[in-house]
Structure 1
Amino acid sequence: MDHVMRVHGLAMKFAEKENADKNIVELAALLHDVDDYKIFGQESARHLTNANRILDQLGADPMTKRAVVNIIQTMGYNKFLEGIRPTTLEGMIVSDADMCDAIGAQGILRTHAYNASKGNPFFDVNLDPIDSHVDANAYRAAKTTHSVQHFFDKLLTIPAILMTGAGREEGALRQDIMVHFLEELFREESAQKWSDHLQNFLKKS
C-alpha cells in the first residue's frame, strides 16, 4: 500500500503541473496495482477484474471507466518492453509516477528489500558487470544475482523513458541520487571495474 500511496502523491503532483484530469489520474493511480499478476494471477491481470469491480462500485461513468482501465492496461515496465505505452496525458502521468517510485532513494530501498527477501546480496564485488536485458522475455527470465546489477538492468534506464515534463524533472533528480550512491559504493568497495562500467553506461544513455 505504501507504493500505491507514493504513486498517488506523485501522480497528483504531476497532474497539477501538466493540467491533466485529476479525477482520472487519481483513480488510475489508486487502482493500478489492484490486479497485480504477482498477487492475483494472470487472469485477473488480463481482465482487470478488481479494477472493473471497484469502478462499478464507485459508480464511475462509462467514459471515466474506459479511461482508467486503458491507463492500467498500458502502463508498467513490462508493457514498455513489449512496446505498449499510454497514449493519454493522464496515462503518461500515472505511468511516470509509477516508474519514478522505482528509482531514487525509494528505488534503492525497494531493490535491496526485494533481493534480500530472495537471499541475494546487495553487491558482489567479485562478479563482473553484465550487459542489460533488451526485451521483455530476457528481462523476465533474468535471475538477478545481486541488487547492484538491477540498477543497470532497469533502474538507471527509467529516466530516459519517462513521458511528461513533470515526470522527467522528477526522474532526473532521482537518477542523480542513484548515480551518486553507486559512485560512492564502488569507491568504498574499490570496485574499479564497476565504476568504469557505470561511467560507460552513463555515456551511452
Structure 2
Amino acid sequence: MDEFNKLSQIKTYTKSKLGTDKTGHSYDHIKRVVTMAEKILESEPADKLITLTAAYLHDTIDDKLVSDPKSALAELQEFLASLEFTSAQIEEISFIITHMSFAHSLQDDNFQLPLSGQIVQDADWLDAIGAIGITRAIYYGGHHVEKIYNPALAPRTNMTREEYRNLDDETIINHFYEKLLKLKDMLNTPTANKIAEHRQQVMLDFLTEFKNEWNSLA
C-alpha cells in the first residue's frame, strides 16, 4: 500500500476515535498538528510517513481521553499492521505516541525521542500555546469543571505525573504556569522555537490582562 493510501486510512481511523471529542483534542486539533508537522519537516530530515502517522494518531491512546490506553495501543498496532507497516515502523510510532506527552516528561525515565517524534511533539506543543492554546486550556478546564482562578492557590511545582493529572488541585490560570509557559523552552527544533516566541508573548499578555481585569485594574 502506498504512503498516500496509508495516511488516508489513518486519517479515517483518527476521525472515528476523536471526531466527537469535547475536550480540545478533536480532529481540528489533529489537523493543526499534522499541518505543523509538515511545516517542520520542510527543514528537518525525518521520515515523513512515520512523522505524519504519529501526528495523526498521537491522541488516540492518550490516558486523558481513553479509558484503557493499553487496549487502545494494541488496537492501534493491529490497525497499522493491517496497513502493511513493518514491525520496526509500528514500534517507532508506538514509542513516539506513548512518550511525547508533557505528563510523561514528569517521570524520571531517561529516553530520547527520534527526530520524527521530536517533530510531532513540537507540533503538538505549539498547538497548546498562543491564542489556540489559551482557548483550548479554557475549553478543557470548562469540560472538567475546573475553577477559573484562585489568587490564593499557588501554581504547583515539582509534580509527579499523578499529581499533574489531579485536576482537583488545579485552576485554569495556574495551568499556564504549571505547563503551558514551560513548553517554549522544551521544544526541539529551530522552526518550532521560532514560532513559539510570538505564541509565548500572546499568553503572557493574556495573563497580564486577565489579572488586571480580575482585580478591576483594567
TM-score bracket, normalised by the shorter chain, equals 0.7 to 0.9
Note if contact 1:24-1:68 (Cα within 8 Å) is conserved in structure 2.
Answer: yes
Q: Secondary structure at 1:19's aligned position in 2? A: coil
Name the counterpart of 2:9: none
Fraction of identical pairs, as percent: 31
Match of 2:156, as an amino acid?
S
Task: Give yes or no for the alignment of 1:22 onto 2:22.
Answer: no
Helix, strand or coil at the partner of 2:168: coil
Instruction: Choose from 34, 43, 62 the match for 1:8.
Output: 34
| Ranges in structure 2 where 5+ consecutive residues have no aligned partner | 1-26
Q: Secondary structure at the match of 1:73?
A: helix
> Does the CA contact (< 8 Å) of 2:147 and 2:170 recur in 1?
yes
CA offset at residue 88 of structure 1? 1.1
TM-superposition CA deviations, 1:162-200 (whole Å, max 9, x none): 1221222222221111011111222233378xxxxxxxx
The residue correspondences of 1:45-194 to structure 2 (distance < 5 A) are 48-84=73-109, 85-124=111-150, 127-135=151-159, 136-190=161-215
CA RMSD of superposed structures (Å): 2.2
Supply the AA of the counterpart residue of 2:33: V
Query: 2:169 & 2:29 partners in 1: Cα distance?
Result: 22
Please give the alpha-carbon distance, in whole angstroms, between the structure 2 residues aligned to 1:81 and 1:106: 24
Farther off after superposition, 112-121 or 25-34: 112-121
Moved more, 139-148 or 3-12: 139-148
Q: Structure 1 length as normaliser, TM-score? A: 0.81
Q: Would the alpha carbon gap of residues 83 and 169 (structure 1) be closer, same or farther in structure 2, given more than 3 Å must change?
A: farther
For residue 96 of structure 1, give the secondary structure of its aligned residue in structure 2.
Answer: helix
- 1:138 is displaced (CA, Å) by 2.5
Deviation at 1:105, TM superposition (A): 1.1
Code of the aligned partner of 1:44: S
In structure 2, C-alpha distance between the alignment counterparts of 1:14 and 1:144, rounded to whole Å: 35
Aligned partners of 2:112, 2:59: CA distance in 1, in Å?
A: 16
Please say if residues 11 and 25 of structure 1, whose CA atoms lie closer than 8 Å, have aligned partners that are also in contact.
yes
Distance 1:80 1:56 in 2: 28
* Deviation of 1:94 (Å): 0.6
Structure 2 counterpart of 1:104, one-letter code: G
Q: Deviations for 1:67-97, whole angstroms, at most 9, x for unmatched residues?
A: 2122112210111111445431111111111
For residue 35 of structure 1, report the CA deviation from its aligned partner. Answer: 1.7
Runs of 5+ unmatched residues, structure 1: 193-205
Structure richer in helix, relative to its length:
1
1:96 and 1:167 in contact (8 A); partners too: yes
- Counterpart of 2:115 in structure 1: which amino acid? L
**Which residue number in structure 1 is paired with residue 62 of structure 2?**
36
C-alpha distance 142-187 of structure 1, shift in aligned 2 (>3 A): same
